[in-house]
Amino acid sequence: MGVFNHAEFDNHEQVIFCRDENAGLSAIIALHDTTLGPAAGGCRMWPYPSINDALTDVLRLSRAMSYKNGLAGLSLGGGKSVIIGDPERDKNETLLKSFAGFVQKLGGQYYTAEDIGIGINDVKIFAETCHYIFGYSTDPSPFTARGCCEGIKAAVMHHLGRNDLQGLKAAVQGVGNVGKILCKNLHEAGTKLIVSDINPEAVAYAVDNFGADAVAPDEIYDQEVDIFSPCAMGGILNDDSIPRLRTSIIAGAANNQLEHPRHGRLLREKGILFAPDYVINAGGMLQASSDIFGNFDIDLIMKRITGIYDTSLEIFKLSEQKNRATHEIADELAKKRIADATGQQKVTP
């Protein structure tokens, strides 16, 4: 399948296929839209079954970054990259530096950072070869989790009419860097937790430290809870999982949770409030982008992250008023901000 007729191609400005046989590198960089500024988004390393699977992921992720950065009020466009391979087996310094070299050749059109399979130490290796790296001066995970918590609070207020999380039940799918901190935040707010992860050590940590109940990864969809919080891979809200859900709210940190836009409409029909992922998981980006612009201001960052509550609430209210899915409202708001910025002078990193 070609790029231009790919189902997820959305007039992306550039899609770059990167290959370095000597380094064992196969990667794709996608720049969706740079109206607001240079494209920015993390690099993911994953053992994709095929090139087409990797292309699907990077096209969707880069588009979501355009919308995330737009709604977050950042002068950044949307981009993303994927390295095809098993991070546990295939990742090494030579491969990482080779990928960073491809980013460097783009001359600042794209800034990259960590994502699934790529950690802060890997990003520091990128920085040895490339100037266009961000998100390694401070771990962005706590900021991402804080933003998600704001989105959850907004959803609970709108859908359940409550201004606290005390006594609610939440099922958290994935307790990695972000999911673990989100569990901590929810636990401290008085939420009862049910967790799942493919990593038994991560599950054990949540059980021991937050009093969580553990279930097998495939059983997380069947839990009767107030909040279902996906914090692992995308595409998990689909024809198979949605009929099994027993929740009022879906709000989590994972990117691209909807397998297809129609699944967002299906959730609305079922009376489940979906908090669009790129809206509520923007906290990490709000913090990490300080590396690009060199203006780290923790008070301003936290103010913007707290603002995720108001942005989410606005989307929920418009969804109800217009009788449309929340992700459709969020997409329109993001597209409007990008369109309004067309022709304006961009902020130079």
Q: What percent of the residues of the chain are helix, what percent strand, and what percent coil, each to the nearest 5?
A: 45, 15, 40
Alpha-carbon distance 178 to 142, whole Å? 7
Q: What are the backbone dihedrals phi and psi of residue 90, each rounded to the nearest 5 degrees, phi first? A: -100, -15
Query: Residue 239 has which token pair?
Result: 């024809």
CA pair distance 211, 128, nearest whole angstrom: 41
- DSSP lists the bridge partners of residue 192 as 169
Nearest in space to 45 (alpha carbons), one of 34, 31, 33, 61: 61
Identify whether 80 is a catalytic site residue: yes
* CA distance to 32, 191, 243, per residue, from 172 (Å): 30, 11, 18
Tokens of 50: 């095929």
Beta carbons within 10 angstroms of residue 196's beta carbon: 25
d(CA 42, CA 21): 23
Which of the residues 80, 91, 153, 180 is marked catalytic? 80
Q: How many angstroms separate the CA atoms of 162 and 280, rounded?
A: 19
Query: Which residues are identified as catalytic?
Result: 80
